[in-house]
Amino acid sequence: MRLDKFLSQYTDYSRSQIQQLVKANRVAVNGELIKKADHKLNGGELVMLDNRQIEAFNARYIMLHKPLGYVCANSDSEHPVVLDLLDMARKLDLQIAGRLDIDTTGLVLLTDDGQWNHRITAPKQECTKTYLVTTADPIPDDVIQLFAQGIQLHGEKNLTRPAQLDILSSHTARLQIHEGKYHQVKRMFAATGNRVVQLHRESIGAIQLDPALAPGEYRALTETEIQEAVR
């Protein structure tokens, strides 16, 4: 494997950052500074970035059913965090692909594969997220059209991307959005004069929350889920 591929797989640096690191003489293989990012590795070499050894590991891909009251962060001074729910080593290496608010439940993805996380969360990929929404007031039919056209959120320059709303009952709907602005779903409903009282994420891209997972439970993603996450 090429050195730059190895580093991009097992660190959070982008390919262009890695080029810079190599140029800056910060990468050594078996004690020798390497000048070329396409340097070939055969496996088993000692790769050092500054004074840190970079080791190959099998990336982990996890789906978690986030319960109410948990924060999507590494640590929090007041509330439990989603990492508290995981019984495994190297928890701090896991990144959360698409955070949920403390009062939102449902699908959260965690991984230590930075590239995969980027593919899931990058705005350009438009990875679809599906939410089940319960509102304080009835949802009028014209909100379907408003969300399909894009809606102006307070403090944002651009309209939201077209979103699909299916009204399920007077106060519940399924919403599909293709971006992940801060508090996006709550702000979209707020812009229509309504308020979200319950929010649950059902899916991210092709990955559906496994109905066998109770709140607080998690499992590894299958190979198919990992491959098809972005569609």
Residues that are catalytic: 101
Residue 221's closest CA among 211, 207, 201?
207
Nearest to ligand URA of 5, 181 (CB atom) = 181
Q: How far apart are the first and last CA of the chain?
A: 27
Residue 183 Cβ vs ligand URA, minimum distance, rounded to whole Å: 4
Sign of CA dihedral 127, 131, 137, 141: positive
Residue 56's closest CA among 44, 72, 64, 42?
44
Residue 151 Cβ vs ligand URA, minimum distance, rounded to whole Å: 13
Rg of the chain's alpha carbons, rounded to an integer? 21
Residue 80's closest CA among 70, 95, 91?
70
Residue 10 Cβ vs ligand URA, minimum distance, rounded to whole Å: 30
3-state helix, strand, coil in the chain (%, to 5): 25, 30, 50
Residues that bind ligand URA (CB under 6 A): 100-101, 104, 183-186, 199
Nearest to ligand URA of 160, 184 (CB atom) = 184
Nearest to ligand URA of 37, 100 (CB atom) = 100
Nearest to ligand URA of 9, 121 (CB atom) = 121
